[in-house]
């Protein structure tokens, strides 16, 4: 399971910018999507952090050749991050109706599946499926694509198994895609979740 930090974080010599992707390395005790503040233990790569100073570089500290520091572990809770709504852990998780209305500007689409025998709870996976299909349709109708040539493929462009004539997003289309994707992510982030929308495209 992954998550994205909501806020900037500072720990000693390291600064972690907001929207840094992290791995959740503990399993939350409850998969109910409506419970805030679940304890989380996050692993964050050193590549995603910014060193604040390099004062220790000149200190005489023996280098351990048998080990390597690749990141840090942060203890926090689910109010500080956006959790991955597409993780299998949340397959049966539900969202309260009032929160679902926040995603859809007050009106819940009929296609969103409700929990059986409970008219006030909706399945998170159904919300994701609806948004993903809507986004995919938007991408196909609005993003600018270009066709791959034989030369493009020989140069390593495109996706695995691509053939001349297959379409990929152009530079302009990629910008359109990313801007719209961010808006769809923002819909989910109103309730504390995020999702890596693919837009129906193949991403290697």
The pLDDT tens digits for 57-84 are 555 556 566 778 889 999 999 999 999 9
What radius of gyration, in Å, describes the C-alpha atoms of the chain?
21
> Tokens 């769809």 map to which residue?
184
Per-residue burial over 147-176, b = 16 or more CB atoms within 10 Å of its CB, e = otherwise: ebeeebbeeeebeeebeeeeebbeeebeeb
For residue 54, pLDDT over 80 is answered with no
What sign results for the dihedral spanned by CA atoms 88, 91, 92, 98? positive
pLDDT at 145: 94
Tokens coding 72 = 């840090």
pLDDT at 31: 76
3-state SS class at 40? strand
- 111-155: pLDDT as tens digits: 999 988 767 899 999 999 999 999 999 999 999 999 989 888 888
pLDDT at 16: 94
- 152-184: pLDDT as tens digits: 888 888 787 778 898 889 999 999 999 999 999
> Are 74 and 44 in contact, with CB atoms under 8 Å apart?
yes
Q: If you average pLDDT over every residue of the chain, what do you get?
A: 88
User: How far is residue 27's CA from residue 204's CA, in Å, rounded to a whole number?
Assistant: 28
């Amino acid at each position: 399971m992954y998550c994205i930090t909501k806020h900037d974080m500072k720990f000693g010599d390291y600064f972690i910018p907001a929207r840094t992707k992290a791995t959740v390395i503990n399993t939350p005790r409850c998969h109910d999507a409506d419970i805030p503040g679940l304890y989380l233990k996050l692993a964050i790569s050193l590549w995603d952090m910014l060193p604040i100073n390099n004062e220790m570089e000149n200190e005489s500290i023996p280098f351990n050749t048998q080990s390597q520091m690749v990141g840090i572990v942060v203890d926090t809770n689910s109010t500080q991050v956006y959790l991955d709504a597409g993780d299998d852990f949340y397959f049966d998780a539900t969202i309260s109706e009032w929160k679902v209305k926040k995603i859809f500007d007050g009106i819940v689409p009929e296609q969103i599946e409700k929990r059986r025998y409970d008219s006030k709870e909706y399945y998170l996976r159904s919300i994701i499926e609806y948004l993903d299909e809507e986004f995919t349709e938007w991408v196909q109708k609005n993003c600018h694509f270009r066709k791959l040539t034989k030369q493009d493929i020989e140069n390593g462009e495109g996706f695995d198994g691509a053939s001349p004539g297959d379409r990929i997003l152009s530079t302009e289309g990629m910008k359109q895609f990313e801007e719209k994707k961010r808006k769809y992510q923002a819909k989910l982030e109103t309730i504390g979740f995020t999702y890596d929308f693919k837009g129906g495209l193949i991403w290697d």
